[in-house]
Amino acid sequence: MRQSQSLDPFFIPKGVAVIGASSNPAKLSHGILKNLSQYGYQGKIYPVNPSAQEILGYQCYEDISHVPDPVDLGVIVLPAKIIPNVLKACGQRGIQAAIIISGGFKEVGKQGSARELECLAIADNFQMRLIGPNCVGTMNLYNGLNTTFIKGMPAKGGIGFLSQSGAVCGGIVDHIVDVGIGFSHFISLGNEADVTETDIIEYLSDDDHTRVIAAYVEAISDGRRFLDICRRVSRRKPIVVLKAGCTDAGAKAVSSHTGSLAGSQQAYRAAFRQGGLIEVHTVEQLLDVAMTLDFQPLPKGKKVALITNSGGPAALISDGLAIAGLEMAELNGKTQSKLRAKLNPAAQVNNPVDMLGGAGPDDFRHALTNVLADRSVDTVVSILVPQSLVNPTEVAKAIVEQANKSNKPILSCLMGKVSIKGANNVLHDNKVPMFDFPNHVGPVLGAMWQYSNYIASKAGNFADLKGIKREKANKILNEYKNQTPIGEAGTRPVLAAYGISLIQAEFAENEEKSIELAGKIGFPVALKVISKEILHKSDAGGIKLNLRNSADVQQGYQEIMRSCKSHQPNACIDGVLVEKMSPAGQEVIIGLKRDPNFGPLVMFGMGGVYVELLKDVAFRVAPLTEQEATQMIEGTFAGKLLQGYRGNPPADKKAIVDCILRLSQIAMDFPQIAEIEINPLLVLEEGSGVLALDCRMILN
């Protein structure tokens, strides 16, 4: 809709009308009015109910047309069937924004979808923005605005939280309301008829109170815009995202390896990675990572030191750090000497620093002072398992004292519940994140290190590719516009027009021509069947390799014809492709598949016939920068092999990057292409380039 219109009326309105407000405490609309009135919101509040004189001390109004100024936000809690007329009245009154709490829209089927579209058209006509329908409302913690019916309100802080699920919002509020995690906004989006997660991310990027954006999403409606906005916002503020529905149970195998491997989740993960988002996998991680990014600075390196009164939790955290790609710092001799001078003589003073069970506040204070001063340490985690001789709250105060003096991130793990409540309050009130189980620490620090690397990296530029002949490729594609699968013979000239190197090959319509072309190309050669009905040539026996003379070619041609006709009797066979046998090199696969939300996905991975078995593949959303294409290669096992393995020379990675970028450009230039696959792409030694050995294409 109107993305340029301000969303301010949703969060800093001058006046709010609760349309459908009830005096019955059991009604949701009564809960909304009560929340709106009790957390310090200073704007005007207007209950709209023709059957009541006043509710909770506020004068009631017969309908929205009777509500006086100022009013710029309407919160609608009425039966779905009458909401279009109510929305029209809001527009006529000059309301700039409306939150539709009620359900009964697209989530209930075709009739509800039609009603939702009607509401959207009305809002569009009046230049009015909508949140919902089927949501629980919004909170602005800094002005006390609360248009939800959720019980309780979180503390003020730096996390802007948005969710497509109202239930997730309510559950999180109840979970964190008294544990000292602070928020700037709480936003439930429901069906997202108008305002989407992308709109809110863009809005929160300019909000002074929001330092971290946390999002629970189930689906993203405009993937291209989402990626563009996140690329810009994530350079300024971290975005932590939890995506529900992370399996591709509904994905169906199609005619290419790329198509069968590229499910919707691969598209989301690629977009999150390229957009600089931090993806988490549980609600706990969403809260933990967002809280820590709000509370603490980013680490400048990946070396972590642990200070503990117990070896077990330290060992568990060490495991989690290794899994997250972090390392245990090596404390220098000077640090260890200072630690040894005051700690229990039996204490361990390397890393982890194990001060033993009786360690008290002074021990934690002394250890933190010296470990934080060690230049080899980037991050410190303090660990306490409560026991009867030590007061956890006093230990927490010692941790806070040192955290306030340091610019290095400090986290704490206090295992327990009942005895650490006071310590939790001290730590969180002073912005030191506390976790009650060791397994929470590794994923959080891994996320911080990931984001730190992202911020330190350059954004990257889209390549200016030379030698592209778009019109030539367009002419070729027009010849195939009535044909869906396109085999190697038809795909090769499209790739060639975009500067992708191919193995030398020519078409032979019969046995005699294949022998003639083999002599022209030079032995040894390969023969490949050409048929619109046979895309997987090896499965049909449609490939013969390493044919060294004319007799081999003749025999190979005859065997291909027999095998293919036996495998697929009704297939129309046009002939064969006669190809030069390839030199030595490493085989990889590159391909693309068009995703309905994000557009074309480009794939790279281990090539040949084992690609689906090994699933050593990486995806990115096109268009790609050179940096993204390079990272895509480096994130796979195939990419590591290309660097040179067991004496093999390094392969030409730059040529692969160039090939990926050219394939990406084809996808951007021709939306009618649903899939392309080059498998295998032969990678030669560094500086020698690549050769496409086999390829296919599918048009929409």
- Domains in the chain: ranges and CATH: 8-210 (3.40.50.720), 297-456 (3.40.50.261), 508-578 (3.30.1490.20)
- CA–CA separation, 360 vs 595, rounded Å? 57
- CA–CA separation, 155 vs 578, rounded Å? 71
What is the pairing mode between strands 155-163 and 212-217?
parallel
| Residue type, position 180, single letter | G
What is the pairing mode between strands 695-699 and 485-486?
antiparallel
The confidence score (pLDDT) of residue 260 equals: 43
- CA–CA separation, 83 vs 398, rounded Å? 57
pLDDT greater at residue 414 or residue 173: 414
Assign 429 to helix, strand or coil: helix
Average pLDDT, the chain: 92
- CA torsion 158→162→167→171, rounded to 10°? -20
Least confident piece of the model among 151-165, 166-180, 451-465, 645-659: 166-180
Q: CA triplet 486, 488, 492: central angle to 5 degrees?
A: 100
- 259 pLDDT above the threshold of 70: no
The confidence score (pLDDT) of residue 4 equals: 56
Q: Can you tell me which residue has the tokens 């209930």?
A: 108
Q: What mean pLDDT do residues 602-627 have?
A: 84
The two structure tokens encoding residue 449: 């290190």
The confidence score (pLDDT) of residue 60 equals: 97
The confidence score (pLDDT) of residue 614 equals: 66
Phi, psi of 147 (to 5 degrees): -100, 20
The confidence score (pLDDT) of residue 255 equals: 39
- 256 pLDDT above the threshold of 80: no
What is the pairing mode between strands 599-606 and 586-595?
antiparallel
Full DSSP string of 283-328: HHHHHHHHHHHHHSPPPSSSEEEEEES-HHHHHHHHHHHHHTT-EE
- 258 pLDDT above the threshold of 80: no
- 414 pLDDT above the threshold of 90: yes
Residue ranges of the alpha helices (H) in 481-529?
Answer: 488-497, 511-521
Q: Which residues, at least 6 apart from 593, have a Cβ–Cβ distance to it below 8 Å?
A: 256, 258, 259, 262, 600, 601, 603, 674, 675
- 700 pLDDT above the threshold of 70: yes
Instruction: Give the tens place of pLDDT for each residue, 456-488.
Output: 988 878 888 999 999 999 999 999 887 788 889
| Residue type, position 550, single letter | S
Least confident piece of the model among 435-439, 587-591, 610-614: 610-614
Full DSSP string of 149-176: --SS-PEEEEEEEEES-HHHHHHHHHHH
How far, CA to CA in Å, does 679 sit from each of 487, 577, 700?
12, 16, 21
Q: Which residues, at least 6 apart from 477, have a Cβ–Cβ distance to it below 8 Å?
A: 494, 670, 672, 673, 699
- CA–CA separation, 270 vs 452, rounded Å? 19
| Residue type, position 115, single letter | R
Q: Is 569 buried (19+), middle (13-18) or exposed (0-12) by CB count in 10 A? A: exposed
- 212 pLDDT above the threshold of 70: yes
Give the pLDDT band (50/70/90) at residue 610: low
- CA–CA separation, 20 vs 90, rounded Å? 13
Nearest to 162 by CA among 97, 242, 233: 242
Give the pLDDT band (50/70/90) at residue 396: very high
Least confident piece of the model among 438-447, 502-511, 638-647: 638-647
- CA–CA separation, 316 vs 311, rounded Å? 9
- CA–CA separation, 276 vs 273, rounded Å? 5
- CA–CA separation, 221 vs 597, rounded Å? 7
Q: Which residues, at least 6 apart from 259, have a Cβ–Cβ distance to it below 8 Å?
A: 253, 593, 675, 698
- 645 pLDDT above the threshold of 80: no
The confidence score (pLDDT) of residue 141 equals: 97
Q: Which residues, at least 6 apart from 549, have a Cβ–Cβ distance to it below 8 Å?
A: 523
The confidence score (pLDDT) of residue 251 equals: 38
Least confident piece of the model among 94-103, 222-231, 451-460, 497-506: 451-460
Q: What mean pLDDT do residues 158-181 have?
A: 87
Q: What mean pLDDT do residues 278-301 have?
A: 96
Instruction: Assess contact for 75 and 17: CB atoms under 8 A.
Output: yes
Least confident piece of the model among 90-99, 417-426, 533-542: 533-542
Instruction: Assess contact for 47 and 21: CB atoms under 8 A.
Output: yes
Instruction: Assess contact for 242 and 215: CB atoms under 8 A.
Output: yes
- 249 pLDDT above the threshold of 60: no
Q: Is 1 buried (19+), middle (13-18) or exposed (0-12) by CB count in 10 A? A: middle
How far, CA to CA in Å, does 177 sit from each of 156, 162, 187, 284, 285?
10, 16, 16, 15, 17
The confidence score (pLDDT) of residue 257 equals: 41
